[in-house]
Structure 1
Amino acid sequence: MADSRKPDSKPAPARRAKAAVIPPSPRGGAVALLDAVLSPDTGASLPEVLTAPPAAFAALDPAGCARAQRLALTTLRHLDRADAILSPHLRKAPPPHVKNLLRLAVVEMLHEGAAAYGVVNSAVGALRGDRRLQAMAGMVNAVLRRASETPDGTWAALPPQRLPQWLRQPMVHHYGRAVVGAIEAAHMEGAATDLTLRPGVAGPDGVTLPTGSLRVAGAQISALPGYDAGDWWVQDAASALPARMLGDVAGLRVLDLCAAPGGKTMQLAAAGAQVTALDLSGPRLARLRDNLARTGLEAEIVTADALHWLPDAPFDAVLLDAPCSASGTIRRHPDLPFAKAAGDLAALTALQARLLDRVLTPSAGLLRPGGVAVYCTCSLLAAEGEDQARAALDRHPHVVAQPVTLPGLPEDWRTADGGIRTRPDYWPELGGIDGFYMVALRIGAETAAAAG
């Protein structure tokens, strides 16, 4: 008897293979950070990204987070070099996430010397665990295996990461191409850790720099001797100079504007000043409070807008560390060129000018006649440094630049206007220094009344 059952009109659909579940890893967290920083839609610095971190990063334990951040920052320092290695092996640009995965893998293999087998397998496994990108696992495997065969010496011969054009062009105009190339090479090397010591404290093992800061080898900061006792705080050697430009501040009333996270506030307080630390950001001032508590130093803390705040009486001295592009800190924050844009600069320079006018106008009540203000920015751009100070002096004829003498300061760091300019390519034999501009400006007591 014939089988009366009708054959199935369609074969049963094949079951789709489940993607492997990939546990959180520092490499995955690093790629997630790269995706966020390099996204054209985000335009965020790494600290901004970390305020609401991607899930692949947030799932890591503290040690994993630290390694993920280090991997991401190292990759950002060598992005152009990684792309130069990958380009001959790619027929077309892969999706951004895959491209960042490839970049990270190349940096691990060629810069850090990680074993190619483990790096390639990790990258391929990460894609096989993502249904959207499973099809690209084979391509990534082939590209990375070719990249791992890069001849010895090729990576080291590649030029360093270039600054974006909006930043590079004015720097070339001001410093020249050779200096900018040296600065870019210094950025690639990264930054050491500098400490500012309380007076009379020996500090942990390290190298004492000519200007007095202590440079320590890479170590967990909180594990160094003297951390719990508050004997010192982390502060780049360049950042430690502006407060010293005020000279002997013992017993003086000093206003630290834009003070958080507090390195300069602690310097002034440790030197015996009566410090008022003012900042617009409450969360940043919370870090300052923590730093003061650890070091046992005291300062009055004010959360306010420096453009409108009025003190009870003018101060003897003002330290204005103005908001800026932070282009002088790229060697320790390689994410900054990707988070900043040319359009940000106009707003920053306008704010710097307004803050300077607020400090230098006697009738504003911040600085007494005869008092000294130190203006500084952690920027390599003359528009935020030398040009800004020159324009302020033109607007305020009652103010003069006051050249200062600082122990250990090389003469070629002094500028024609009486200020000080540091650059990342300085002290190459010691590990470099952040880029800063700083100048001391004195209000003439005899002309202050006429200036109003």
Structure 2
Amino acid sequence: MPPQRFALPSEVPGLAARRIAADILDGVLHKHRTLDEQLDGAAAHPGLKNLSDRDRALMRRLVATILRRLGTLGHVLSRLLDRGIPTDAPRAQSALLIGAAQILWMDVPDHAAVDLSVRLVQSDRRAAKYAGLVNAVLRRCAREGQPLIDEVKSQTLDVPPWLMARWIAHYGEAVARDIAAAIGQDPSLDITVKSDPEQWATRLHGETLPTGSVRTLLQGSVKMLPGFSEGHWWVQDAAAALPARLFGDVAGKAIVDLCAAPGGKTAQLALAGARVTAIDRSPHRMTRLRDNLARLALDAEVVVADGADWLERNHDRGFDGILVDAPCTSTGTIRRHPDVGWLRQESDIAPLAALQKRLLQKAVTLLRPGGMLVYCTCSLEPEEGEQAVAALLASEPAMRRVPIEAAEVAGLGELLTAEGDLRTLPCHLPHVDPRLGGLDGFYAARLVRQT
């Protein structure tokens, strides 16, 4: 049931953005709904269409900041509240988080942050009784919040403990802390260009990365940026742009892109001259893929289907290459999708690893002799990366690994494992300006079916 609100005589500027931010936070933290589904598509928050571009940007930044700093916010508020955050009124919790995030990390005057959070609880029947509490706590936060942050000085608070423990076990404590620090930064905008990255870096006031992606700090609607509507580029994290390149020369080859939406890798393969069959089970996401291909003037066969089912039905076909961009926990994308860490649980890994195993085993059967399989996930968890490929190689004697050379990833040997697989981490590609550093966490392996 939606929260009951008192009617306001007129909307206070900025209150609508904060009310929607509170609704979306409640969706993530209490209803286990992703940010993507609440911000786009048929299930998106109905109030978004009434927000100005400025308020929409504010709302997005509010939600992202809170989810990115949720552990630290919990620490600060727990020190300022004698009895903890109220649990009987979700709007009071959201108002405290929204107010504190603005005070501590955003360029919003303290008095405005406090006033609008108070109005937020006053407009909700269940939370209204906490208006005085919210006012008092946020005023204390303005005075005492930063010293409370300095007291712990640890961004590991903002990573769920189960996930931090896994990263320490797999990567070591120093690297795990570097990962935590990297995902605490607002991410840049990465784009893949059809040609002339240096020119587009100049036009978009960014820089060209060693891997060829263009990175910029420009904000706002990407649709308004130069070159978007003309189809000169598409949005794609620099790490996500690497797996499709591992096929080498694909001109004229038949390539399947499994779990393809929203289509960045499909676009790369099509641009390189491949005959691409793009498969994904989500009709909504495949509509986006078709729209992207149309804007980019690129062609691919687009099929809405469950990947495993499609592979089963087409087992008698032989393809030159298959890209298995498998569903996963997505823990490598937390810097861009800060809800992931709070929506996922450790128990999610095993069923997803089983699905990945099934997709890999079926994909092998569709490869012609000499055909190439590139497997990738945007996960930092070894079960969904290194262990998945090791299990496939152990069970499929016809498959062998083709190690990736440093030259294929712009000489960045630190992105490769000892076995020759790709393993990018959020702390890779450091930069003097932290906002311009980092990558999504990706794993990719290149395998070939022996003749």
TM-score, normalised relative to structure 1: 0.88
Once residues 335 and 185 of structure 1 are traced to their aligned partners in structure 2, the CA distance between those partners, rounded to angstroms, is 16
Deviations 1:205-263 (A, max 9, x none): 32110111111122331122211111110000000000110001111111111111100
Q: Which is worse superposed, 201-210 or 137-146?
A: 201-210
| Structure-to-structure mapping, 1:70-149, within 5 angstroms | 70-93=61-84, 94-95=86-87, 96-149=90-143
Question: Partner of 1:345 in structure 2?
Answer: 349
Tell me if the contact between 1:19 and 1:128 (Cα under 8 Å) persists in the aligned partners: no
In the alignment, is the contact (CA less than 8 A) between 1:221 and 1:227 conserved in 2?
Answer: yes
**Is contact 1:193–1:216 with CA below 8 Å preserved after alignment?**
yes
1:164 paired residue number: 160
Matched ranges for 1:254-333 at <5 A: 254-309=255-310, 310-311=313-314, 313-333=317-337
CA contact (8 A) 2:376 2:385 kept: yes
**For the structure 1 residues 131 and 359, does the alpha-carbon distance in structure 2 shift closer, same or farther, using more than 3 Å as the test?**
closer
In 2 relative to 1, CA 125–380 (structure 1 residues): closer, same or farther, beyond 3 Å? Answer: same
Deviations 1:245-285 (A, max 9, x none): 00011111111111111000000010111111111222211
Larger Rg: 1
Q: Secondary structure at the match of 1:438?
A: strand
Distance 2:162 2:107 in 1: 33
- Distance in 1 (CA, whole Å) between partners of 2:45 and 2:217 is 31
Give the letter for the 1:142 counterpart: A
Give, in angstroms, the shift of residue 48 of structure 1. 2.6
Residue pair 2:241, 2:265 contacting (<8 A) in 1 also: yes
User: How big is each residue's C-alpha offset from its partner over 1:300-355, in whole Å with a ceiling of 9 and x where there is no partner?
Assistant: 11122222324473111111100000100000111111222222211110000000
Structure 1 residues 55, 224: closer, same or farther in 2, change over 3 A? closer
CA distance in 1, matches of 2:145, 2:94: 22
Following the alignment from structure 2 to structure 1, what is the Cα–Cα distance between the partners of residues 161 and 303?
Answer: 38
1:393, distance to aligned residue in structure 2 (A)? 0.6
SS across alignment from 2:143: coil
Counterparts in 2 of 1:99 and 1:57: CA distance versus 1, 3 Å: farther
Identity percentage over the alignment? 42
Q: Distance in 1 between matches of 2:409 and 2:80?
A: 53
Q: Which residue of 2 aligns with 1:178?
A: 174
Q: Secondary structure at the match of 1:72?
A: helix
> Which residue number in structure 1 is paired with residue 394 of structure 2?
394
CA distance in 1, matches of 2:8, 2:286: 45
- Maintained 8 Å contact 1:43/1:340: no
Deviation at 1:172, TM superposition (A): 1.6
1:432 matches 2:435: no
Partners of 1:268 and 1:134 lie apart in 2 by 55
C-alpha RMSD of the superposition: 2.0
Moved more, 278-287 or 64-73: 64-73
CA distance in 2, matches of 1:397, 1:278: 27
Could you tell which deviates more after superposition, 62-71 or 98-107? 62-71
Tell me the distance in 2 between the aligned counterparts of 1:48 and 1:162: 23
Q: Distance in 1 between matches of 2:275 and 2:235?
A: 22
- The alpha carbon displacement at 1:54 in A equals 4.9
Tell me, yes or no, if the aligned pair for 2:69 and 2:158 is still in contact at 8 Å: no
**Cα 1:301/1:152, change in 2 over 3 Å:** closer
Aligned residues of 1:30 and 1:57 also touching (Cα < 8 A)? no
Q: Aligned residue pairs: how many?
A: 422
Partner residue, 2:368:
368
CA distance in 1, matches of 2:398, 2:349: 28
Aligned to 1:8: none
Distance 2:400 2:107 in 1: 54
Displacement of 1:55? 5.9
Q: d(CA) in 2 for partners of 1:32 and 1:285?
A: 27
Stretch deviating more after TM superposition (315-324 or 109-118): 109-118
Q: 1:407 to 1:163 in 2, by over 3 A?
A: closer
More deviation in 155-164 or 338-347? 155-164
Task: Tell me the SS of whatever aligns to 2:158.
Answer: coil
Greater mean alpha carbon deviation, residues 302-311 or residues 249-258? 302-311
Q: Secondary structure at the match of 2:308?
A: coil
Q: Specify every segment of 5 or more residues in structure 1 that has no aligned partner in the other structure, as ranges.
A: 1-17, 446-452
| C-alpha distance in structure 1 between counterparts of 2:131 and 2:113, whole Å | 13
Counterpart among 192, 199, 202 of residue 196 in structure 1: 192
**Structure 1 segments of 4 or more deviating over 6 A?**
none
Tell me, which stretches of 5 or more residues in structure 2 are unaligned? 1-5
